Structure 1
Amino acid sequence: MGLLSGLLGNASTIDPAELAEELEPILAAEETIEVAFKVIRDQFVFTNSRLLLIDKQGLTGKKVEYLSIPYKSITRFAVETAGHFDLDAELKVWVSGAAEPIEKTLRGADNVTAIQKALATAVLAAQ
């Protein structure tokens, strides 16, 4: 993935070793990063026990929301790929106890299938 893909919002992979150093303060003692993706400034981090949705907000990105979803809490998920005229792909994750899904938009379809595969692998392993 080049700079242009990142600017367009296409999901690119992140080196788990580099990200582990950055996220070390919030990872559990035995928690490891399996795979991670970046869309502009937002990140989708799949660890061995949860999905972390990291939303960097504001102009400087200093304000950060960390949404932690244990795999065992995910009841279902949906991935809608981009089409010819609609360039946005969408990820929807339903968690137990919430009526509405958590929704994330992915521009472009470069790694949407890789995100879906990572989520399916993690959720099915937690069953």
Structure 2
Amino acid sequence: MIDFSKGGVFKLEPIPSNQMLEPINHFLIEGEMVLSVFRSVRDQLVFTNKRIIAANVQGLTGKKVDYTSIPYSKVQTFSVETAGAFDRDCELEIYISSIGKIHFEIKGGFDIVTFNKAISKYVLG
């Protein structure tokens, strides 16, 4: 579950952008493009060229969803850890003053180096 107020480690799986929750498309502003989409059990995390959008699906039916938007301008620092020979997961940590440290583990052979370059462009730009 993606609930930044509780902290912890969020285990994510990359998914194609066409599997993104439909309402997120309506949140995007003019010129905003989806870079990567990830999911945990029911929740999703979307990185665009403007911000990070977290969709926290709540309740038994999943009809109630909390959407959190984090503009890249609020990211103070971030780090990535590449996958190893035996540990195929990579990691991303971002630090936001109002939230603190958010730690993500990304499953599988995700290209974190290319992703780091894209995120760097928007955080540092």
Tell me the TM-score range normalised by the shorter chain. Answer: 0.5 to 0.7
Structural RMSD (CA): 3.1
Deviations 1:7-39 (A, max 9, x none): xx6424415xx85964244334x3522422234
Deviations 1:13-70 (A, max 9, x none): 415xx85964244334x35224222345544423342121334467765453423111
In structure 2, how many angstroms separate the alpha carbons of the residues matched to 1:103 and 1:110?
16
- Which structure 2 residues correspond to residues 67-106 of structure 1 after superposition, within 5 A? 67-98=68-99, 100-106=100-106
In structure 2, the residue matched to 1:14 is: 17
Deviates further, 71-80 or 107-116: 107-116
Identity of aligned residues (%): 37
In structure 1, the residue matched to 2:109 is: 109
In structure 2, the residue matched to 1:123 is: 123
Change (3 A) 1:101 1:46: same
In structure 1, how many angstroms separate the alpha carbons of the residues matched to 2:81 and 2:74?
21
Gapped regions of structure 1 (runs ≥ 5):
1-8
In structure 2, how many angstroms separate the alpha carbons of the residues matched to 1:59 and 1:20?
17
Deviations 1:77-126 (A, max 9, x none): 1111222333332211101344x31112211232323432221121122x
Gapped regions of structure 2 (runs ≥ 5):
1-11
Aligned length, in residue pairs: 113
TM-score, normalized by length of structure 2? 0.64
